[in-house]
């Protein structure tokens, strides 16, 4: 076996949905201590909020509220803050992250009605139309833009149009899309979008954020079930003096500030999406050549993470495959689907098609080691 592949910083390549491989400069940006009340840090917070807002094409009627924690924290904060206690949510589900929203609503005591489709099918705007027409009490809908469970892309703009047509508000989990796939706060009906620092933005884990219509946030005072996850209160404090209410993830913000600079240098989300799309096509083509089948049809596949069916050969042991790749410096991800045995390989993070080709070579070596080259049909 050749020496393991390594990132410029000596780490294995993370082909995962996040946390993922970040640039050296992003990691170096964290080598500072800043007081959370210092003007320097207040400026960083302000710059990052403005940068995130700009990526989402937000205007004067929108704001960006960061929240400490992983992505789920900000999803929970958005639901708890923007759904009034009497609100009723139509939750559009085709994967585990959609199902998680239902769980959160149950815990928060918010009414939630699921509209589910199969995990390999995008949510259908016509079904959303029918559900909203049937129940005028539904005040909001929630959509996961890219369902990381499978890697499927849901039709955000079409569903926003349907939700707006019924005069309801759309909440979106854009966690694994934001920074690459287009997000436009001017889409009719779109009230709020959540994402986190450590996916397509290529920052480090530690914070999420919600970009929301300010009128909706203003109207949300008193909704929240939780002090620390009250987005309205968090927003008010930030607007008052630029400071976070509670200890901010200072180094994570410094890293995100650098990551946003690198996103702009790359040419913005459209250019990043092109790099990821190239990673994805090299991956799918190469894995196909080795006998692996993607779970999704290519028309619904987002270039973020690819789910592959577990090969049928009895001698194929995922644990052996995973460890073999690991020893060669590539970290992949287990599957998360209900009902199908799969594994996943991410296309996002600070990596390009050279890394993908290295991974494909490692897959070839591991299959040979497992005496499964070529993979039997």
- By CB under 6 A, name the binding residues for ligand PLP: 17-18, 70-72, 75, 97, 144, 148, 173, 175-176, 196
What secondary structure does DSSP assign to 51-90, as a single string? HHHHHTT--TTEEEEEEES-HHHHHHHHHHHHS-TT-EEE
Nearer to ligand PLP, 169 or 177 (CB): 177
DSSP alpha helix (H) spans, the chain:
24-28, 39-55, 71-82, 96-108, 125-134, 156-165, 214-218, 231-241, 250-266, 268-289, 318-327, 353-369
For residue 333, list its beta bridge partners.
344
Rounded to the nearest whole angstrom, what is the least distance from the CB of residue 305 to ligand PLP in the complex?
8
Nearer to ligand PLP, 71 or 349 (CB): 71
Rounded to the nearest whole angstrom, what is the least distance from the CB of residue 375 to ligand PLP in the complex?
29
Query: Coil, helix or strand for 116?
Result: strand
> Do residues 138 and 105 touch, judged by C-beta distance below 8 A?
no
Rounded to the nearest whole angstrom, what is the least distance from the CB of residue 50 to ligand PLP in the complex?
23
Rounded to the nearest whole angstrom, what is the least distance from the CB of residue 267 to ligand PLP in the complex?
24
Nearer to ligand PLP, 148 or 324 (CB): 148
Nearer to ligand PLP, 191 or 366 (CB): 191
Nearer to ligand PLP, 101 or 367 (CB): 101
- The pairing of beta strand 140-144 with beta strand 88-93: parallel
Nearer to ligand PLP, 51 or 206 (CB): 206
Query: Coil, helix or strand for 317?
Result: coil
Rounded to the nearest whole angstrom, what is the least distance from the CB of residue 148 to ligand PLP in the complex?
3
> Do residues 6 and 329 touch, judged by C-beta distance below 8 A?
yes
Rounded to the nearest whole angstrom, what is the least distance from the CB of residue 97 to ligand PLP in the complex?
4
Nearer to ligand PLP, 148 or 301 (CB): 148
Q: Which of 348, 351, 201 is nearest to 263 (CA)?
A: 201
C-alpha neighbours within 13 Å on the C-beta side of residue 4? 16
Rounded to the nearest whole angstrom, what is the least distance from the CB of residue 204 to ligand PLP in the complex?
12
Indicate the residue whose CB is closest to ligand PLP.
71
Query: Looking at residue 294, what DSSP letter applies?
Result: B
For residue 67, list its beta bridge partners.
208
């Amino acid at each position: 076996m050749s020496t393991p592949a390594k990132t410029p910083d000596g780490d294995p390549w993370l082909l995962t949905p996040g946390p993922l491989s970040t640039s050296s400069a992003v990691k170096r940006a964290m080598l500072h201590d800043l007081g959370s009340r210092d003007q320097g840090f207040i400026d960083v917070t302000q710059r990052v909020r403005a940068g995130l807002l700009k990526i989402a094409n937000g205007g004067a009627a929108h704001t960006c509220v960061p929240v400490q924690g992983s992505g789920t924290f900000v999803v929970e904060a958005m639901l708890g803050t923007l759904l009034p206690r009497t609100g009723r949510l139509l939750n559009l589900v085709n994967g585990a992250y959609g199902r998680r929203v239902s769980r959160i609503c149950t815990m928060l005591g918010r009414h939630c009605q699921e509209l589910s489709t199969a995990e390999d099918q995008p949510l259908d705007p016509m079904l959303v139309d029918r559900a909203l027409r049937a129940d005028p009490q539904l005040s909001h809908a929630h959509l996961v833009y890219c369902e990381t469970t499978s890697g499927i892309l849901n039709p955000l703009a079409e569903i926003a149009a349907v939700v707006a047509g019924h005069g309801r508000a759309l909440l979106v989990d854009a966690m694994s899309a934001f920074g690459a796939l287009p997000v436009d706060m001017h889409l009719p009906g779109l009230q709020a979008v959540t994402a986190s620092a450590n996916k397509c933005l290529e920052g480090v884990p530690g914070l999420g954020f919600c970009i929301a219509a300010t009128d909706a946030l203003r109207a949300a005072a008193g909704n929240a079930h939780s002090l620390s996850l009250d987005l309205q209160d968090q927003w008010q404090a930030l607007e008052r003096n630029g400071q976070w209410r509670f200890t901010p993830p200072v180094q994570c913000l410094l890293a995100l500030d650098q990551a946003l600079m690198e996103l702009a240098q790359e040419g913005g989300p459209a250019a990043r999406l092109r790099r990821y799309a190239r990673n994805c096509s090299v991956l799918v083509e190469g894995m196909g050549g080795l006998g692996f089948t993607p779970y999704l049809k290519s028309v619904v596949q987002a270039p973020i993470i690819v789910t592959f069916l577990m090969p049928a050969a009895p001698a194929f042991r995922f644990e052996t495959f995973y460890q073999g790749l690991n020893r060669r410096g590539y970290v992949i991800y287990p599957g998360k689907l209900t009902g199908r045995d799969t594994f996943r390989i991410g296309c996002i993070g600070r990596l390009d098609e050279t890394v993908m080709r290295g991974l494909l070579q490692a897959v070839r070596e591991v299959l040979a080691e497992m005496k499964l080259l070529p993979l039997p049909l």
